[in-house]
Structure 1
């Protein structure tokens, strides 16, 4: 399953990238985010891996994030490997003539096991979740709004 989303953020690209590239900010725009633990490679560089822990409802789950390409402020590509779900994400940041930033996120999901059924039955749920993260990041980047206050 593949889809591309984009959102315009009323902030200069360097500011957007600086906020996104700071792991301390993740809790402010990713609902359910608990922690990020560096596992291997040079932290924040291509090839680095980290364990991300989230809570959705009563369920906690982990995924391994790998930075597959880093070319900031233009782009960052990542993979996320969780139980029965593999996500390839390419993020691009374009400077717009009005001084704002366009964040384009290309996503590919590969499913195995039980999640094959979920991916087939509810493909919109993954796109909806991605868009929610993008909207929450926009609110954080533009207005300092945190999902922790909701």
Structure 2
């Protein structure tokens, strides 16, 4: 399953990248994030891996992020691996009149019958969640609104 989401953030690209690239900020725009831990490689650089833990309602989700391409401020590509899901995330950042257009291309590959069925029956839920994170980042970056406050 592949899809593209995008959002324009009212910040110059260098400020946008500074906020996006700081792992301490993730808790302010990734609702449900309870912990992150560096696993290997140089933090933030290509090849680096980080463990991410989320709690969504009663569900707990563990995944590993791997940075596969870091060409900031233009692009950042990552892979997220969780049980039954392999997600390739290609993020592009375009400067536009003092604003930043964030274009995110997502590709999900599912293994296991349960995840394949969920991906088939509910593709919109994945796109909706991706866009929600982007919109929450926009609110945090522009106005300092944290998902921790809601």
**How many angstroms does 1:112 deviate by?**
1.0
**How many angstroms does 1:28 deviate by?**
0.3
3-state SS of 1:45 partner = coil
Return the alpha-carbon distance in structure 2 between the equivalents of residues 134 and 61 of structure 1: 19
3-state SS of 1:62 partner = strand
Q: Which residue of 1 aligns with 2:22?
A: 22
Q: Which residue of 2 aligns with 1:137?
A: 137
Return the alpha-carbon distance in structure 2 between the equivalents of residues 129 and 6 of structure 1: 13
Q: Which residue of 2 aligns with 1:46?
A: 46
**How many angstroms does 1:58 deviate by?**
1.1
Does residue 100 (structure 1) correspond to residue 99 (structure 2)? The answer is yes
Q: Deviations 1:41-64 (Å, cap 9, x if unpaired)?
A: 111100001110000101211000
**How many angstroms does 1:21 deviate by?**
0.3
Does residue 79 (structure 1) correspond to residue 89 (structure 2)? The answer is no
Q: Flag structure 1 segments of 5+ consecutive residues without an equivalent.
A: none
CA RMSD of aligned residues (A): 0.5
Does residue 7 (structure 1) correspond to residue 7 (structure 2)? The answer is yes
TM-score, normalising length: structure 1: 0.98
3-state SS of 2:80 partner = strand
Does residue 109 (structure 1) correspond to residue 87 (structure 2)? The answer is no
